[in-house]
Amino acid sequence: MDDTAEFLRRFPPFQSATPGELAELASNAVRFEFSTGATILDVDMRDVDSVWVVCSGRVVILHPEDSALTAVPIDAIDVGGVFGFSAMLSGAAFGFVARTTEPSSLIQLPGALMRPLFSNPAGLKFLADAVSTANAQVGGPTDRSTKRTVGELLSGPPVLVDPEMGVRDAVQRMTDSGSSCVVIPLPDGSHGIFTDRDLRIRVVAAGISVDTPIRVVMTAPAETVTADRLAATVLVDMLDRGMRHMPVLSTRGEVLGVVEDSELHAASTRRSFVLRRSVALASDSDELALAARRIPGLAVDLFRGGTEATAVSAILSVVIDSVVRRALELEWSANPSVPRTEMAWLTLGSVARREAMPSSDVDSALSWSDLLPDPLGGERTRDTALMDLASGVHRILTACGLPADSNGALASSPRFARSASQWRTAAQHWLSNPFGDRANPAGDSGLIMSSLLVDGRVVWGNRELHTVPQVYRTLAEDHPEALRLQLRDALAGRARLRSLRDVLARRGGTFDLKSHAITPIVNLARWGGLSVGLASASTPARLAAASGNGLLADRDVKILTEVFDLLQRLRLGHQIDQVEAGVPPGDVLVMAELSAIERSLLGDGVREIAAVQRRVGYLASNVGVRP
């Protein structure tokens, strides 16, 4: 036992362990001897509640479909190396094959003792470094560019089959194409998926006839992802949900292919995964706040480590989503009178677009099923009970360092808490009254409310209850005048280096990066997406979808996308500096603090945005839209 403790002490993450922790680990360690080619962990092992440490010899991590002894490994684990921690932390299947390449001695350590060790700073650093320094997959260093999207990782078209096709024929299609799954388009526009694992468990092990229609044994609706999503964030989602395959869709909903977790493992960072697991394991609001307070530090580490700004924003959005979900679960468990399947919590704004910054607050909305009874248990009305739930959630989020929207876009407000049919009716009203009712000046502005809700994304509950995007997907065909007003509103906020307000306030030495540069792109992209039937999406995805819509040329889309990337990089760098200095992050730049190159790039970028706005405005004026 003393020898084991001394051995562990020499290697991370055990170097930070106390003598008592090392002694307890050593006393619970189980030593195994393996011959060459022995399998330690396999793809279907789901009871992985331990980690393994190599004492002598070598272990390689292989893709499950590449199991030959001569296969090129995804990773190699030498003496002192640890593996199996991802499956232990996520509670999912291992997903790969761990195999010895020579006679090897290994020790197995229980998860109950390892989880606390991984939650301290040294353990977190180990987990981040362990992935970022993984060995080559094929003939060179693994590409870990976090800017790569899942669309770029697709190696071929999907295998699509009819729901009525028999399992035998579907499996034959899988075999012929060399695929590990088939995708089944369904009449309602969703998709099912059937994988090689489903074949083993749902068909062979269950004794189901291979002539059974594939719809009987498929998983539906399948979780899908759009092609513009960054690999870094999709991997975290898949690990958290225990998924190995995810169909990738175009912005128009067409299946482009299927991405596998092993492909993402070779192209993404997992630094945020550990923090997200800490969030998920929080047993109360205090533990959740303690975990969430590490979010700014995560942003600093990612950005200083060379991660692209767009990837940092996307990862922050994923982590914030996880905090919101955990806050909802904690608050809901204290008052479970609301069926989870009968409500939906929507995140709005930049987090919904997966463009969060350290300065981002939390905009939210609630939607619930019209079938919910009223009153909803006790003496409280249904609406009051749901908004009380939202108030509790926002109290937890505020304690987590995620403040509520200062403009009142909160699920605890009656304006942002309605039934699904009320939201649909409201959206239709906004189309007819984009500036609000003259008889009720305090009423909702259709343009503002639609902009908020079209961006909305369901992060907890029933996705079908978010009904506003459904109304706006046919905007171009059914409400062309409303679409023109959306464009006019998008062009009204001109990109500029100095506004009249800046001049009057004598703020010539500062620049509001969000208001004067980023928001004009976001608004123009939102209109562009709606012009082609795309509602909720990221700003770059909306621009790409709108390319060539008659007013926004391919060249304009390329310019706006590049400038948006530049501005987000400047914005994040500015806020990271503020976080490190202990200053609340914000969007107002002091021009004198920028380098000459940054000032030049910023000026050029703003002029490019303004030029695109002028070109689109000129073309729009020919069809009756005058900004």
Using one digit for the tens of pLDDT, what is the confidence trace for 47-75? 578 899 999 998 888 766 555 555 556 66
Strand ranges in 196-342 using DSSP code E only, listed in sequence order: 225-226, 245-249, 255-260
**Degrees to nearest 5, angle at CA 534 with 528 and 536:** 105
Three-state DSSP state, 309:
helix
Q: Residue 502 pLDDT > 60, yes or no?
A: no
Identify whether the C-beta of residue 256 lies closer than 8 Å to the C-beta of residue 370.
Answer: no
Separation CA 506–CA 22 (nearest Å):
62
Confidence at residue 139, expressed as pLDDT on a 0 to 100 scale: 31
Please give the average per-residue pLDDT across 530-554, as a whole number.
87
Confidence at residue 168, expressed as pLDDT on a 0 to 100 scale: 93
pLDDT band with cut points at 50, 70 and 90 for residue 138: very low
Confidence at residue 236, expressed as pLDDT on a 0 to 100 scale: 62
Identify whether the C-beta of residue 461 lies closer than 8 Å to the C-beta of residue 393.
Answer: no
pLDDT band with cut points at 50, 70 and 90 for residue 144: very low
pLDDT digits (tens, 9 = 90+) for 176-205: 888 889 999 999 889 999 998 889 889 988
Confidence at residue 623, expressed as pLDDT on a 0 to 100 scale: 55
What single string gives the DSSP state of each residue in 336-392?
Answer: TTS-GGGEEEEEEHHHHTT---TT--BEEEEEE-TTS-SS-STTS-HHHHHHHHHHH
> Of all helices (H) and strands (E), which one includes residue 198?
helix 196-198
Q: What is the pTM of this model?
A: 0.66
The DSSP call for residue 73 is P
Three-state DSSP state, 247:
strand
Q: Residue 375 pLDDT > 60, yes or no?
A: yes
Confidence at residue 178, expressed as pLDDT on a 0 to 100 scale: 82
pLDDT band with cut points at 50, 70 and 90 for residue 441: very low
pLDDT band with cut points at 50, 70 and 90 for residue 585: very high
pLDDT digits (tens, 9 = 90+) for 293-335: 999 988 888 887 677 788 889 889 988 999 999 999 999 887 7
Please give the average per-residue pLDDT across 404-424, as a whole number.
91
Please give the average per-residue pLDDT across 611-616, as a whole number.
90
pLDDT digits (tens, 9 = 90+) for 231-264: 767 776 676 566 788 999 987 788 999 988 766 6
Contacts of 509 (CB under 8 A, 6+ apart): 590, 591, 592
Question: Which segment of 314-318, 441-445, 623-627 scores lowest on mean pLDDT?
Answer: 623-627
Mean pLDDT of the chain: 83
Confidence at residue 594, expressed as pLDDT on a 0 to 100 scale: 83
Nearest to 244 by CA among 129, 357, 96, 118: 96
> Of all helices (H) and strands (E), which one includes residue 34?
strand 30-34
Greater confidence (138 vs 242) lies with 242
pLDDT band with cut points at 50, 70 and 90 for residue 91: low
Confidence at residue 365, expressed as pLDDT on a 0 to 100 scale: 95
Please give the average per-residue pLDDT across 223-234, as a whole number.
82
Confidence at residue 432, expressed as pLDDT on a 0 to 100 scale: 78
> What is 271-471's CATH number?
3.30.460.10
Confidence at residue 229, expressed as pLDDT on a 0 to 100 scale: 83
Nearest to 105 by CA among 139, 56, 66, 62: 56
Q: Residue 422 pLDDT > 90, yes or no?
A: yes
Separation CA 347–CA 349 (nearest Å):
7
Confidence at residue 193, expressed as pLDDT on a 0 to 100 scale: 95
Identify whether the C-beta of residue 13 lies closer than 8 Å to the C-beta of residue 82.
Answer: yes
Q: Phi first, then psi: what are they for 506, rounded to 5°?
A: 55, 45
Question: Which segment of 254-258, 471-475, 565-569 scores lowest on mean pLDDT?
Answer: 471-475
Q: Residue 481 pLDDT > 60, yes or no?
A: yes
**What proportion of the chain, given as a percentage, has pLDDT over 70?**
83
What are the angstrom distances between the C-alpha of 339 and each of 283, 323, 462? Answer: 21, 20, 10
Greater confidence (504 vs 617) lies with 617
**What proportion of the chain, given as a percentage, has pLDDT over 90?**
37
Please give the average per-residue pLDDT across 422-430, as a whole number.
91
Confidence at residue 272, expressed as pLDDT on a 0 to 100 scale: 65
Q: Residue 133 pLDDT > 50, yes or no?
A: no
Please give the average per-residue pLDDT across 507-536, as a whole number.
88
Q: Residue 579 pLDDT > 90, yes or no?
A: yes
Q: Residue 270 pLDDT > 80, yes or no?
A: no
Q: Residue 383 pLDDT > 60, yes or no?
A: yes
Confidence at residue 356, expressed as pLDDT on a 0 to 100 scale: 94
Q: Residue 373 pLDDT > 70, yes or no?
A: yes
Separation CA 388–CA 384 (nearest Å):
6
Greater confidence (596 vs 357) lies with 357
Confidence at residue 374, expressed as pLDDT on a 0 to 100 scale: 76
Q: Which CATH superfamily is domain 150-265 in?
A: CBS-domain (3.10.580.10)
Please give the average per-residue pLDDT across 390-398, as a whole number.
95
* 2-132, CATH topology level: Jelly Rolls (2.60.120)
Question: Which segment of 37-41, 446-450, 619-623 scores lowest on mean pLDDT?
Answer: 619-623
